[in-house]
């Protein structure tokens, strides 16, 4: 089912937060970004109709982490499996987004030269465009391992486990947690941090170490998922 050799896959996950703690802080520190948020507030409410009764601060704090122009990457975790089965992992995290991206850029460039495939959950629709856009915004060149706007679909060297599990049915539930449960793979969703709490944990609770550990668990479970799928071959 997954034909790419396990040792040629770079497993990846990222964690993002809103670019500022809340809308009011954004108005103070990044007024131009706040103006753009005002402009696209209706877009956020159309995409997330359940937010219609929330305040602007609440919408900003819960949704901006999903949109590259309003987000900030605070953690990137990668891992690969060596020929002897040993897992090598590396995590880049911090408050300085440009430094996090720069450190990850170096590793991604090396893996791209070694012809690695990227693997992640919702990789194509979230992690790849998020990393590429945030790198460009931070005046960094996206590494060649990330597909660009003109990469043809059959040229993309990426395994998106959400795409694999949906099997063409784009209306199906695509959570990694549900996929793990279905495949009887231990889920990474443990501890105090979950995806919907990352913004709050970062800005209000100073939990960057816990966020990094959560990100690493996601990467390691991706390895288990791919191993499980490769058992079908």
20 inside domain: yes
Tens of pLDDT along the chain (233 residues)?
788 999 999 999 999 999 999 999 999 999 999 999 999 999 999 999 999 899 999 999 999 999 999 999 999 999 999 999 999 999 999 999 999 999 999 999 999 999 999 999 999 999 999 999 999 999 999 998 998 888 887 788 999 999 999 887 776 677 888 899 999 998 766 667 777 889 999 999 999 999 999 999 999 999 999 999 988 86
Across the chain, how many H-helices and E-strands are there? 10, 5
CATH number of the domain at 130, please: 3.30.420.10
Q: Per the domain annotation, does 50 fall within a domain?
A: yes
- Domain-embedded: residue 39: yes
Distance (Å, rounded) from C-alpha 162 to C-alpha 214?
A: 19
Q: Locate 56 and state its tokens.
A: 């602007």
Q: In this structure, is residue 1 part of a structural domain?
A: no
Bridge partners of 3, per DSSP, are none
Listing DSSP states for 109-133 in one string gives: HHHHHTTPEEEETTIIIIIHHHHHH
Domain residue limits at 216 = 6-230
In a domain, 141, yes or no: yes
Q: Is 17 left (phi over 0), alpha (psi -120 to 50) or beta?
A: beta
**Domain tally for the chain?**
1
Instruction: Give the largest Cα separation in the chain, rounded.
Output: 56
Residue 190 pLDDT: 64
């Amino acid at each position: 089912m997954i034909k790419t050799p396990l040792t040629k896959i770079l497993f990846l996950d990222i964690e993002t937060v809103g670019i500022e703690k809340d809308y009011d802080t954004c108005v103070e520190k990044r007024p131009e970004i706040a103006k753009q948020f005002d402009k696209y507030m209706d877009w956020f409410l159309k995409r997330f109709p359940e937010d219609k009764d929330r305040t602007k601060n609440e919408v900003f704090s819960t949704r901006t982490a999903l949109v590259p122009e309003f987000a900030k990457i605070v953690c990137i975790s990668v891992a690969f499996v060596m020929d002897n089965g040993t897992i090598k992992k590396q995590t880049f995290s911090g408050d300085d987004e440009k430094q996090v991206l720069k450190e990850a850029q170096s590793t991604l460039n090396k893996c791209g030269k070694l012809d690695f495939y990227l693997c992640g959950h919702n990789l194509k629709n979230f992690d790849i465009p998020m990393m590429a856009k945030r790198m460009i915004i931070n005046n960094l060149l996206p590494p060649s391992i990330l597909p660009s706007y003109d990469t043809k679909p059959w040229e993309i060297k990426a395994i998106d486990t959400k795409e694999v599990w949906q099997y063409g049915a784009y209306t199906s539930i695509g959570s990694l947690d549900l996929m793990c449960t279905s495949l009887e793979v231990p889920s990474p969703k443990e501890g105090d941090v979950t995806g919907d709490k990352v913004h709050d944990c970062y800005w209000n609770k100073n939990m960057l170490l816990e966020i990094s550990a959560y990100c690493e668990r996601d990467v390691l479970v991706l390895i288990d998922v791919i191993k499980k799928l490769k058992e079908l071959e």
